[in-house]
Structure 1
Amino acid sequence: MAAIAAALCLTSATMVLLPASSSAATGPGGDTVADGGHTARISRTEYGVPHILARDFDGLGYGYGYAFAQDNVCELADQVVTMRGERSRFFGPDGESEGSNLASDTYYGGQLRAGTVQRLLDQKAPLGPTAELRRMVEGYAAGYNRYLRDTGVDKLPDPRCKGKAWVRQVTSLDVWGIVHDLNGATGAVPLAPDIGEATPPTAAGEHTGATAGTSGRRTPSPFATLGRGPAADFGSNGWALGRDATRTGNAMVLANPHLPWVGGNFHFYQVQLTIPGTLDVSGAGLYGTPLVEIGHNRNLAWTHTASDAQHTSFYALKLVPGDPTGYVVDGRTERMTSRTVPVTVRTGNGKLSTVDRTLYTSRFGPVLSSGWTTKTAYAVRDANADNLRSMNTWLAMGKARNLAQLRTAQNTYQGIPWTYTLAADTSGGTYFTDSSVVPHLTDEQLERCARPDSEEGPSALDGSTSACAWGSDPDALVPGIYGPSHQPRLSRTDYVANSNNGPRYTNPEAPLTGFPGAYDSDPRLGQRAQLGLRMIAERADGTDGLGAPGFTGRTLRASALGNRVLSAETGRDDLVGMCRAHPRLTATDGKEVDVRQACATLARWDTRADTLSRGAALWATFFDHLFEAGPPDTWRRIPYDPAQPLTTPRGIKGDDMRVRRALADAVQDFAARNLPVDTELGTVQKWAGIPLSGCNGDKGCFNVLEAGPDSGTGTPTAGAFGTSFLMAVELTPDGPRTRTLLTYGQSANPASPHYTDQTRLFSRKQWVTERFTQSEIASDPALKVTTLTR
């Protein structure tokens, strides 16, 4: 205990134990906040990164919750409104699309009334949370609440929620609800509006529409997005480099997740969590989750990329004639269960009323509104519906000292929801696995049970026979999923890499085979995945222009933000050859377009998507039109060849009329926007006025970034997507050497200095040197310390 107390006092602010009712400053750059039962210290270094130091998990969660509230109080408050099914109460029934708040509240209200999360909490570990995590979550909620009480809702620094009635104290159940919701991000959660709107059709085959008292309109839910939702856009690059791939012989890890820049659910927050002698982990976690989910400790580093496995199954239900809530399984009729959910709705004049809604469920899961006819209905079964184990897994990973212990953590809790894991340790070894929660469906079942797409519904499994239900593995922690023995895994001393491709080409020198087809929905490599493997190979032989072979910290960071564009590297010359031969092209509207200036711009372009690149914006626009023209294999000079998976497809058919029209249309687009064709990329791609590099991964950009000229300014085009938390760590014998970059900063509050400070660094390809040890933290001249005491 003396050692811990000494560690807690390594700060410019002296730690003072005060009565619960008192509060006092503790010296220059430090504040003391008192509360009963919790002790923690928040040391903020450059760019507002908090380092939480505590004696126990209660205090660690308390410090984390307080620090997070300082930066993002509105985001957690908004998440909690959703989790409680109260969006209609505070914001009206419509939301962003007609009826969406009402449908959302029906779904989440149903979860609360069913006691879904509480039932999972009632289980003992490993199925339920460990005692340490329970205390940490309780502390997290208490820390957030303490900040809210001390500051006051009417004096919050964020104008978006200052003085708002929906900003309230939270409970640990709210936090666990957020965890559960994030785990379902590739399953039922993006379908919440569709589940919340599900109503039986009339005898004429039409839906009855929304419940009386609402707008009467239904939320559209195209089957093209069912089961995918936000997760369809999740992406990442992840590399774990072993001793044979680096010049120093030290292992390295590159984390480069791609997620939305707006919206609290999938935003990263950077933090270090330390209990001396128990836990010391640094990295980033998603908003509302009190842990590090991508990061490192002294001996181990890991990252995640979105898994290609299917974590959800649709089932087509054969309905009983004349009975839209009865369905047939193995020749016997079963009844859908229904649950009435009262939703409080605020009308346009501010009055509150209660609307009773109904949720329908089958043995295969919730029933969807889309596709529900008098003959067929569709249900969705989510493998993460009973998963709170993710937090157990990540906490155990944060404690792990080597790859073997990381594997044990994942095998014990089996809670990684929908991502691959790539990791390395100080031995110089690397490891890849898809340990995510995957439904146990054999290859034979996937073939025999599949029903084709139709106009009414999605691709689904046959729900009329129990032979198409999920099976189980003897080593699976819960029924219905694959156990660790079936998971794709690879250990290497050179590298493992993934850019949202399937497991097969994690390392082309040792292709992974023999795993169930449920883990790999598409064996083809996308352009970004091909580029990532090419970049590693070129670094190995020193042909990438970055110096002598082998990775160093410098070349790893340069590779991550090199802004290479594979489609341009393999196709730009084809296009230039075409437009030089045909300086006037016919656009889709039939007009003739002079493309000589565009052709000259592309010929001069260095094929990089840097902020100052002239030609990158034109290329991106051209490719957007090209994708609309037809499948890539039809206009590629060399189409996909299974015998050449790393290098095909490539090139562009210059003699294809669709290619010519796409370039002409792109030039017209620039003219319509009064932009010269050689406009710098950073002119049309910005965040709060800051130029951004990168482009869409489908075009072969490794640094994925999609944004408009007004992104981050609160305008209708304020959204952005792509590179979010960057981490490049080298695991040396003397400790980790790490550079990080949180592209949108620590705070989602536009009034905060930490809203765009790191965005400016990102624009200049600059990184933040991480402070990991207590001495490194204490030596920061900008250090600001808050001590939470009892």
Structure 2
Amino acid sequence: MGESRTLTKRQKSSLTGRLAAIVTALCLASATMAVQTPPSSAASGAAGERVAEGRRTAHISRTEYGVPHIRARDFDGLGYGYGYAFAQDNVCELADQVVTLRGERSRFFGGDAQSGQESDLASDTYYKGLLRAGTVRRLLGQKAPLGPTTELRRMVEGYAAGYNRYLRDTGVDKLPDPRCKGRPWVRSITALDLWSLVYDVNGATGAAPLAPTIGDAKPPAAGGDGTKAAATSGTRAAVALVQGRRDPAAAAFGSNGWALGRDATRSGTAMVLANPHLPWVGGNFRFYQVQLTIPGTLDVSGAGLYGTPLVLIGHNRELAWTHTASDAQHASLYALRLVPGDPTSYVVDGRTERMKRRTVPVAVRDKNGELSTVERTLYTSRYGPVLSVGWTTKTAYALRDANADNLRSMNTWLAMGKADDLGELRAAQDTYQGIPWTYTLAADTGGDTYFTDSSSVPHLTDEQLARCTLPGSEEVPGALDGSTSACAWGSDPDALVPGVHGPSHQPRLNRTDYVANSNNGPRYTNPQSPLTGLPGTYDDAPRLGQRAQLGLDMIAGRLAGTDGLGAPGFTRSTLRASMLGNRVLSAETGRDDVVGMCRAHPDLKATDGTEVDVREACAALARWDTRADADSRGAALWTTFFDRLLETGPPDTWRRVPHDPAQPLTTPRGIKGDDVRVRRALADAVQDFAARDLPVDSELGDVQKWAGIPLPGCNGDKGCFNVLEAGPDSGTGTPAAGAFGTSFLMAVELTPDGPRTHTLLTYGQSANPASPHYTDQTRLFSGKKWVTERFTAAEIAHDPALEVITLRD
């Protein structure tokens, strides 16, 4: 008789991986495979596969909606397959990102070309400066945990090689995407380019949004008064983001995330809902769905940001997790007191320090196509780079970014993808401390849930914040006093790098019912166990927003069975139905107030003094079911009305019940129908519809579209959980016609038999308008439909849309 023993989780994982490989081989042998035509340089392999000889090997199995499942024997091959698959779908996006990261936009597009609201020349100056300073190379020179692990280095090298293989096989002149076909800026990439991209993503709440402001910084002219033109709206939004202040007018980052434990589900198994809100246009923060498998080592499925080599939100067999944007501060702006007569010197503790200068040459193409080199100068203080905004003869502002030394994020996410339970996930985050600017919500097969803000947060005490925060300027309010070292960041003994809070001071919560977040700070992660006593850098705004209130109300209603979805407790179907129920909290608590007002006053005065008949609008709102479905009639009018109302002043002044700290989950609510601002806002909304020749009962999807497809959802400040902001012309390929909001949806249940998952990538796998995967999932999103994920080898092999490529390099 053989010895009987219990397998550990890791041994089970290894055995499962070996069995999966066997099942895959057997299933693929019998599957009908649709593949690309091999190039002349490729040798033919098994029937239906494309094979070329070499040291890296990867299998790319694409299932319905173009989702690639990459399988390899090592990290070199895994990266190789991932880079190749991504290039097939989004070669233009990564090529364009690399142009930015190399500081070459002015070279290819001209110095007057625009990136958002700032000039390319200023952006190029910042990124050229990073390269000349060797910032990313220096971080790559460190050993793990500070630098990347060996596995990750191989993964990134393979990714670059896979992307370049696609370019070589296809040819730039024959690329399927007309936006970059034959363009000189589409070139091979390097591992350094990818690590630079990772570094830029990590700085998304620090240096990255201020890149043009850093690149354009220069001291005031001699003899001038040092006054500056007002900052652009883009700069003000970036400053607000860096300081941890949400700008309601700016679509920056957001998300909803739920981890539901064994006490919240009917089956007693854990579930996770992922609902990140990010821009739909531009490659920097679009998601790409993928499964990455090395049998016995890694098997993780989910989505990662374009160009990043890993799954950032996803699950394996034992564990699932998501992220939401943290409301903590991840950088500080310091006000520098300048030396009279020398605007490039400043005073700290009574001593003068000179700003460091770095000269940066930037190639610029003029309107005639001729290249020239422009010499630019970057200025740096002890705190970090100096900004152009607010630089006068008396004051300048500098940025200290908590992620300025962070390439550790990929170490963290790879270790999370390998984790077997919440304990190992926590150990991964504590070991590498690389999560840059998000909360983490997770659950495991034990039925437990976990919340933490393990992101990089400056070590500033509440006393420092109170003493050091200055009134600042209109452009940079609330900067810290840079003239004294007493306002500098401290540190924790358990912090991997100086200047930030270590794991022992990070907010954390374990529950068996749920943890939830909608960018509302840690306090009400679960109202039954409020997280209090945190440093102000983590929780400076305990008041809940409308979206956060709605999310918690949705959970409470499902646990009580009062939401109309059946018996208490979550199931996979009720989780999906909750996510896309498209409730609008502001309407649920205020629509009847507005209808009562307009029925009593059918003629209202608009802002311009015009008397407006609102009878039809009033009837439309009365008939509306208060949902933001694509075909809802009344939702479009309500969102327009509410936008106008938000512009009139603080909501508590026109709310029927203002915010009450003793009732954080249910106040404010209602709308004062007798307030002149409320009446004027409705009249203005009706005028707006008339000006656009739209009926007041137009469907929401008539005014909110992507590539002609009607979209559900609305802005979170109106109390929409399913956040979506778009215009009628969205999807035309120009940033002005972009959309923002729900991007990658994942609803996963961790059953004893493996994960059961539904996903939805709202804008599809490809940003190429000519691709069949450009809007295929957008149509699903419009109709509240989901994609059933294929995770196991057998599920993948039996997909009727299966396409398989085997790559060897």
Question: Into which bin does the TM-score normalised by the smaller protein fall?
Answer: over 0.9
User: In the alignment, is residue 742 of structure 1 matched against residue 755 of structure 2?
Assistant: no
Deviation at 1:263, TM superposition (A): 0.4
Once residues 575 and 520 of structure 2 are traced to their aligned partners in structure 1, the CA distance between those partners, rounded to angstroms, is 21
User: In the alignment, is residue 507 of structure 1 matched against residue 533 of structure 2?
Assistant: no
The CA deviation string for residues 354-405 of structure 1, in whole angstroms up to 9 with x for no partner, is: 0000000000110000100000000011000100000000000000000000
Q: Which amino acid aligns with 2:687?
A: Q
Once residues 278 and 564 of structure 2 are traced to their aligned partners in structure 1, the CA distance between those partners, rounded to angstroms, is 30
Residue 96 of structure 2 is matched in structure 1 by 78
The CA deviation string for residues 582-603 of structure 1, in whole angstroms up to 9 with x for no partner, is: 0000000000000011001001
> Which secondary structure state, in structure 2, belongs to the residue aligned with residue 74 of structure 1?
helix
Once residues 104 and 278 of structure 1 are traced to their aligned partners in structure 2, the CA distance between those partners, rounded to angstroms, is 40
The CA deviation string for residues 180-204 of structure 1, in whole angstroms up to 9 with x for no partner, is: 0000000011000100000011234
The CA deviation string for residues 475-525 of structure 1, in whole angstroms up to 9 with x for no partner, is: 000000000000000000000000010000000001011221111131110
> Which secondary structure state, in structure 2, belongs to the residue aligned with residue 12 of structure 1?
helix
Deviation at 1:466, TM superposition (A): 0.3
Deviation at 1:452, TM superposition (A): 1.2
Deviation at 1:710, TM superposition (A): 1.2
> Which secondary structure state, in structure 1, belongs to the residue aligned with residue 184 of structure 2?
coil
Return the match for 1:244 from 263, 279, 298: 263
Residue 747 of structure 2 is matched in structure 1 by 728
Return the match for 2:659 from 615, 640, 645: 640
Change (3 A) 1:623 1:218: closer
Residue 214 of structure 1 is matched in structure 2 by none
**8 A contact 2:20–2:793 mirrored in 1:** no
User: In the alignment, is residue 419 of structure 1 matched against residue 438 of structure 2?
Assistant: yes
Residue 266 of structure 1 is matched in structure 2 by 285
Deviation at 1:606, TM superposition (A): 0.2
Return the match for 1:59 from 77, 86, 93: 77
**8 A contact 2:546–2:718 mirrored in 1:** yes
Q: Which amino acid aligns with 1:242?
A: G
Q: Which amino acid aligns with 1:650?
A: R
Number of aligned residue pairs: give it: 781
Residue 672 of structure 1 is matched in structure 2 by 691
Change (3 A) 1:438 1:2: closer
Deviation at 1:122, TM superposition (A): 0.1
User: In the alignment, is residue 9 of structure 1 matched against residue 25 of structure 2?
Assistant: yes
Structure 2 gaps of 5+ residues are 1-16
Once residues 130 and 225 of structure 1 are traced to their aligned partners in structure 2, the CA distance between those partners, rounded to angstroms, is 32
Once residues 424 and 233 of structure 2 are traced to their aligned partners in structure 1, the CA distance between those partners, rounded to angstroms, is 46
Deviation at 1:34, TM superposition (A): 1.8
> Which secondary structure state, in structure 1, belongs to the residue aligned with residue 563 of structure 2?
coil
User: In the alignment, is residue 153 of structure 1 matched against residue 169 of structure 2?
Assistant: no
Change (3 A) 1:703 1:359: same
Residue 136 of structure 1 is matched in structure 2 by 155
Q: How does 1:311-326 map to 2 (within 5 A)?
A: 311-326=330-345
Deviation at 1:455, TM superposition (A): 3.0
Deviation at 1:714, TM superposition (A): 2.9
Residue 545 of structure 2 is matched in structure 1 by 526
Q: Which amino acid aligns with 2:571?
A: T
User: In the alignment, is residue 124 of structure 1 matched against residue 143 of structure 2?
Assistant: yes
Q: Which amino acid aligns with 1:74?
A: C
> Which secondary structure state, in structure 1, belongs to the residue aligned with residue 759 of structure 2?
strand
Q: Which amino acid aligns with 1:285?
A: G
Deviation at 1:37, TM superposition (A): 1.8
Deviation at 1:456, TM superposition (A): 5.3
Deviation at 1:12, TM superposition (A): 3.1
Residue 213 of structure 1 is matched in structure 2 by none
Residue 228 of structure 1 is matched in structure 2 by 241
Deviation at 1:458, TM superposition (A): 2.8
Q: Which amino acid aligns with 1:458?
A: P
The CA deviation string for residues 36-88 of structure 1, in whole angstroms up to 9 with x for no partner, is: 32001000000000000000000000000000000000011011001110000
**8 A contact 1:252–1:728 mirrored in 2:** yes
> Which secondary structure state, in structure 2, belongs to the residue aligned with residue 334 of structure 1?
strand
**8 A contact 2:251–2:740 mirrored in 1:** no
Change (3 A) 1:179 1:227: farther
Residue 105 of structure 2 is matched in structure 1 by 87
> Which secondary structure state, in structure 1, belongs to the residue aligned with residue 28 of structure 2?
coil
Residue 65 of structure 2 is matched in structure 1 by 47
**8 A contact 2:227–2:392 mirrored in 1:** no
If the length of structure 1 is used for normalisation, what is the TM-score?
0.96
Change (3 A) 1:10 1:287: farther
Change (3 A) 1:447 1:690: same
> Which secondary structure state, in structure 2, belongs to the residue aligned with residue 785 of structure 1?
strand
Identity of aligned residues (%): 81
The CA deviation string for residues 757-786 of structure 1, in whole angstroms up to 9 with x for no partner, is: 000111111100000000110011110000
Return the match for 2:42 from 23, 30, 34: 23
Q: Which amino acid aligns with 2:636?
A: A
Moved more, 615-624 or 710-719: 710-719
Residue 770 of structure 1 is matched in structure 2 by 789
**8 A contact 1:190–1:227 mirrored in 2:** no
**8 A contact 2:23–2:794 mirrored in 1:** no
Change (3 A) 1:98 1:742: closer
**8 A contact 1:98–1:218 mirrored in 2:** no
Change (3 A) 1:358 1:585: same
**8 A contact 1:200–1:208 mirrored in 2:** no
Once residues 483 and 11 of structure 1 are traced to their aligned partners in structure 2, the CA distance between those partners, rounded to angstroms, is 48
Moved more, 200-209 or 134-143: 200-209
Q: How does 1:594-605 map to 2 (within 5 A)?
A: 594-605=613-624
Once residues 734 and 344 of structure 2 are traced to their aligned partners in structure 1, the CA distance between those partners, rounded to angstroms, is 44
> Which secondary structure state, in structure 2, belongs to the residue aligned with residue 226 of structure 1?
helix
Deviation at 1:98, TM superposition (A): 7.2
Once residues 513 and 450 of structure 2 are traced to their aligned partners in structure 1, the CA distance between those partners, rounded to angstroms, is 10
Deviation at 1:219, TM superposition (A): 7.6
Once residues 187 and 561 of structure 1 are traced to their aligned partners in structure 2, the CA distance between those partners, rounded to angstroms, is 32
Residue 282 of structure 1 is matched in structure 2 by 301
Q: Which amino acid aligns with 1:49?
A: V
The CA deviation string for residues 648-707 of structure 1, in whole angstroms up to 9 with x for no partner, is: 111100010000000000000000000000000011111111110000000000000011
**8 A contact 1:13–1:27 mirrored in 2:** no
Deviation at 1:207, TM superposition (A): 6.3
Q: How does 1:55-454 map to 2 (within 5 A)?
A: 55-96=73-114, 100-205=119-224, 222-226=235-239, 228=241, 233-454=252-473
Once residues 323 and 142 of structure 2 are traced to their aligned partners in structure 1, the CA distance between those partners, rounded to angstroms, is 27
Residue 488 of structure 1 is matched in structure 2 by 507
Structure 1 gaps of 5+ residues are 211-216
**8 A contact 1:197–1:218 mirrored in 2:** no
**8 A contact 1:122–1:128 mirrored in 2:** yes
Deviation at 1:20, TM superposition (A): 13
> Which secondary structure state, in structure 2, belongs to the residue aligned with residue 694 of structure 1?
coil
Change (3 A) 1:689 1:275: same
Change (3 A) 1:618 1:37: same
